[in-house]
Amino acid sequence: MKLRNIVSQLRQDGIEVILIGSKNVDIQAVSSLNNSNETKISFFKDKKYLSSLKETCAGAVILAPAYQAFCPVPMIVVQDPYYVYALVAQLLNPLQKTTQRHPDASIDDSAQLADSVGVMAQAVIQSGVTIKDGTLIAAGAIIEENVTIGKNCRILSNVVISHGCIIGDNVTVEAGAIIGGDGFGWANHEGTWVKIPQVGRVIIGDDVSIGNNVCIDRGAIEDTIIENNCIIDNMVHIAHNVKIGQGSAIAGQTGFAGSTILGENCTVAGQVGFSGHITIADNTHFLAKSGATHSISKPGVYSGFPAIPVSEWQRNSVRARNLDKMAKQIKALQKQVDELVDRD
C-alpha cells in the first residue's frame, strides 16, 4: 500500500496527519525500528529508543511532532503514534472475512442468519439462533440454541456459546473460549454434592474482545454481564453472576469468583484473584498477582495479598526485605537487656 493511501485512509478516519517525505513509498508490513527496511512502517513513542529512530531503515515511521527532526526517513506525524500505528497495522493486516457457508457446517433450519454471515467447516449452529450482518463463525465453533450474535463479530475456531447467551456488535471471541458454560453451583447434602442448575445467561456488550480459552460462566439465576468496550486476555475465568464494567481490561490467568462486580474503566494485571460477592469501584487498578479479598470503594492502584493501596504495599515490601536485619537487631538488643538485668 502506498504511503499516500495510508495517510488518506487515516484522514478519512478523522486523524490529523502530517506526511513528511515521499508519498510513494510502498509499505507492505509493520516492523520495529531496528528490524525494518524500505517496505515496512514502524512507530516511535518512547524517547529511550531515540538512537533506534535516528538509525532506522524503515520505509516510514509514525511519530509525534516533537521527534520529527530526528527521523531520517519519511514520516507520519500525529499526536498519538501508538493509536495510529494500531490503525495502520489493521490496514495492512485485514481480518479474514467470508460470506460463504461451508457444506460441512451444520445450520438448523430455524436459525436466522443474515446474508453476509460466513460459516466455516464443522461449525454447528443450533435452533433459534440469530446472527446479524458481517459476522464470521469459524471452523468447529458451536452456537447453541437461542443464542443471539450481533453485527461484525468474529467467533473463532472451537468456541462454544451456550444456549440463550447474547453477544453484542463488534465482538471477537478467540479460539477455544467457552461462553455460558455452567457456573460452579453445588449444594452439599450430608456429604454428597448436588448439582444446582444454572439458569441465567451470559450477556456481552458491544466492542468486546475475549481471548483464547477464556471461560465465562452463565449466571446461577441472574445473568453474568460483560459491558461494552472490555478487553479480556487469554485464560481468564469469570464465574457466575460476575459483572465487568465497561471499558475494563483484564490480563491473562485472572480469576473472578461468583457475584464479583468490577467497576468501569478498571485494569487488572495477570494472575489477579477476586473472591466472591465483592464490589470494586470504578477506575481501580490491580498489579500482578494481587488478591482482592474484600470490596474496594476508593479508586486507585492496589497490590499484594490481600490487596491494599500500592503505596502501603511498597512500604510493607521494603520492611519485609529488612525482616532478617531487624530480627538480628532485636536479638542483639535483647542480649544487651539481659546483660543489664543480670548485673542488677
Tell me the per-residue pLDDT of 256-287, one tens digit each, with 9 for 90 and over: 999 999 999 999 999 999 999 999 999 999 99
Share above pLDDT 70 across residues of the chain, in percent, rounded to a whole number? 100
Residue 150: the pLDDT is 98
Residue 344: the pLDDT is 67
Q: Residue 64, exposed/middle/buried by CB under 10 A (0-12, 13-18, 19+)?
A: middle
Q: What 8-state DSSP symbol labels residue 321?
A: H
Residues 315 and 283: their CA atoms lie apart, in Å, by: 23
Among the listed ranges 151-155, 165-169, 240-244, 307-311, which one has the minimum average pLDDT value? 307-311
Residue-wise pLDDT tens digits, 123-148? 999 999 999 999 999 999 999 999 99
Model confidence at 109, in pLDDT bands (50, 70, 90)? Answer: very high
Share above pLDDT 90 across residues of the chain, in percent, rounded to a whole number? 86
Model confidence at 95, in pLDDT bands (50, 70, 90)? Answer: confident
Which residues share a beta bridge with 279?
261
Model confidence at 15, in pLDDT bands (50, 70, 90)? Answer: very high
246-258 CB burial, b ≥16 within 10 A, e <16: bbbbbbbbbbbbb
The overall average pLDDT reported for the chain is 95
Q: State which amino acid sits at residue 65.
A: P
Residues 60 and 27: their CA atoms lie apart, in Å, by: 8
pLDDT above 90 (res 97): no
Query: Which residue is catalytic, options 240, 277, 285, 294?
Result: 240
State the average pLDDT over residues 62-72. 95
Does 277 qualify as catalytic in the annotation?
A: no
pLDDT above 80 (res 3): yes
Residue-wise pLDDT tens digits, 208-221? 999 999 999 999 99
Among the listed ranges 44-53, 118-127, 309-318, which one has the minimum average pLDDT value? 309-318
Which residue pairs from 217-223 have beta carbons closer than 8 angstroms and sit at least 24 positions apart in sequence? 217/180, 217/181, 217/182, 217/183, 217/184, 217/242, 217/258, 218/162, 218/164, 218/165, 218/180, 218/181, 218/182, 218/183, 219/183, 220/183, 220/185, 220/196, 220/258
1: which 3 cell numbers?
500500500
Residue-wise pLDDT tens digits, 159-173? 999 999 999 999 999
140: which 3 cell numbers?
468447529
Mode of pairing for the β-strands spanning 166-167 and 202-204: parallel
Tell me the range of 85-99, 293-307, 328-342 where mean pLDDT is highest: 293-307
State the average pLDDT over residues 104-120. 97
Rg (CA), the chain: 27
Residue 299: the pLDDT is 97
Model confidence at 17, in pLDDT bands (50, 70, 90)? Answer: very high
Residue 337: the pLDDT is 85
Q: What angle do CA 295, 196, 293 make, to 5 degrees?
A: 15
pTM: 0.89
Classified as helix, coil or strand, 323 is helix
